[in-house]
A = this chain, B = another copy of it.
Amino acid sequence: MAKQKPRTLSGFMELLPGPQQQMERIMEILRTTYSLYGFTALDTPIIESSEVLLAKGGGDTEKQIYRFEKGDSDLSLRFDLTVPLAKYVAIHYGQLQFPFRRYQIGKVYRGERAQRGRFREFYQADIDIIGDGKLDIINEAEIPSIIYRTFSQLGLERFQIRVNNRKVLNGFYAMVGLEAQSQDIMRTVDKLDKIGADKVKSLLIEELDVTEETADQVLHFIAIQGSNQEVLVALEDYRGKNELFDTGLDELSTVVKYLAAFGVPEANFAVDLTIARGLDYYTGTVYETTMLDHPEIGSICSGGRYDNLAEYYTDKQLPGVGISIGLTRLFYVLGEQGMLNPNLPVAPADVLVIPMGDEQQGYAIATATRLREAGIRTQLYAEQKKFKARITYASKMEIPYALFLGETEEQEQVVALKDLNKGEQVTVPFSEAVQLIQAGITAANQGKVIQE
């Protein structure tokens, strides 16, 4: 028979079992952490009607959409989890309670040019808090706490949550008469890290027709640095000149004020006036999260406050705040940087049960059943292979324990338990084997997924 060469499309992540186990662990930690903050799980379709999904229209994203016809339906694959959330809230508005807090971890699709580390199918892990008409600033203050706990639980320590407020930025630009150009200016200022202050100044003057004096004011403003308190104090100098600015400064101060109560250490948080986020729908607090030792990776968790989640679907005013982790890319980067803890178990089973002869098949099966009842992940090795091949299998699978069951063991109703990492073997009653295995598994699972 002629064979079709099997392949996986480029830009689509498909992991081997070991790395997949790490990915599963990360997803489990995300689910648990988001749940701790009262977010409910949602799952929306991957396919939506194009007219619904693309109601907002335009933008860079549209070219990348996977869009196709099926029958007489014009369909598209979702390219993020925010538009489906807007649709969901608009449809189910009457059945939801607000604030509505949801998390969703799901695949999204963008037909980008394939290149290393770029994915066309990738997981996003999103949380959003949606208010009905209003949403208190405390929700914006809570977000850094969720980011902090999420990455801490994953094992990351050297990261910084960088926070700004769009009202502060827009208010400032209004003060200096650049209100109409604020989007263009923010895009230019965003290049500060890359091209330096002098070049930013030139661009402002030459390309955006800003006067030299105003350009200096802009550079002076975004150069404000220091501890959170120092930045807030410096911003107070601008108070009283623009109402929007003052509101933004109050919000930013509130976010900083409750950091400690929310359990976020100062070391993992910074007010950073250079953060703007590209998307123009953010209207309040904005967040980026960077790995201190890998600034080149960019933000690993971003988001912000917006005023109107579902304006394309409903007249209801639905303000919200949300953040998103690009999980597939993060996982890829962690792997590339060697930051996935290799000491965590990735074997699919904790114990391999090996009958020494056909006569012990029944005893082996009954023992495997009892192990599973004790919550131990157990694989029964049933193949007719030489003893050495069985041990090789366990060791290649990195299964930590093997249980040998021969005639003697069955007669005496004991088990021969081998710790395959230490190479030590003991013959013990079943209950003792369970305790040894459970203790071993607990110890092996102590570490965190990410190691720095």
Residues of A within 8 A of B (CB): 1, 3-9, 12-17, 20-21, 23-24, 35-49, 51-52, 55, 66, 68-71, 73, 75, 86-88, 90-92, 95-97, 99, 101-102, 107, 109, 111, 120-121, 131, 134-136, 138-139, 141-142, 145, 149, 258, 261-263, 310-315, 348-349, 352, 361-362, 365-366, 369, 372-373, 375-380, 382-384, 393, 396-397
Contact = CB atoms under 8 A, between A and B. Distances in A.
Given A17-B40, A17-B41, 20 more contacts: A4-B55, A6-B52, A6-B310, A6-B313, A8-B91, A9-B45, A9-B75, A12-B47, A16-B95, A20-B43, A21-B41, A36-B377, A36-B378, A47-B109, A66-B75, A135-B383, A139-B382, A142-B365, A142-B380, A261-B369
20 contacts: A3-B315, A4-B55, A4-B313, A8-B45, A9-B73, A13-B45, A16-B96, A21-B40, A21-B41, A35-B348, A36-B372, A46-B46, A47-B120, A66-B75, A71-B111, A101-B348, A136-B382, A139-B382, A142-B382, A263-B369
Contacts of A314: 3, 6
Contacts of A142: 365, 380, 382
Contacts of A9: 45, 47-49, 73, 75
Contacts of A139: 382
A213 B343 CA distance: 67
A87 B8 contact: yes
Contact of A97 (B6, B21, B38, B396): B396
B348 A40 contact: yes
A369 B145 contact: yes
Nearest to A350: B38
A91 to B, nearest CB: 5
A372 B96 CA distance: 24
Contact of A8 (B4, B15, B37, B48): B48
A55 B51 CA distance: 33
B121 A37 contact: no
Contact of A258 (B3, B35, B43, B361): B361
A430 to B, nearest CB: 14
Contacts of A373: 263
A71 B113 CA distance: 10
When all copies of this chain in the complex are counted, the total is 2
Nearest to A2: B312
Contacts of A349: 38
A90 B44 CA distance: 32
A6 to B, nearest CB: 4
A337 B107 CA distance: 31
Contacts of A107: 46
Contacts of A70: 66, 68, 111
Given A96-B17, A149-B372, A348-B38, A45 B121 contact: yes
A38 B352 CA distance: 9
A97 B397 contact: yes
A138 to B, nearest CB: 3
Most B-side CB within 10 Å, residue of A15, A36, A107, A383: A36
A9 B261 CA distance: 44
A438 to B, nearest CB: 14
A55 B7 CA distance: 12
B45 A258 contact: no
From A21, A52, A396, residue with most partner B Cβ within 10 Å: A52
Given A102-B17, A131-B383, A4 B48 contact: no
Contacts of A384: 134, 136
A71 to B, nearest CB: 7
B4 A361 contact: no
Q: 10 closest pairs, A vs B, by CB? A: A38-B379, A68-B68, A138-B382, A38-B349, A40-B348, A4-B55, A261-B365, A12-B45, A6-B313, A136-B382
Contacts of A96: 16-17
A258 B368 CA distance: 12
Contacts of A69: 68
A75 to B, nearest CB: 8
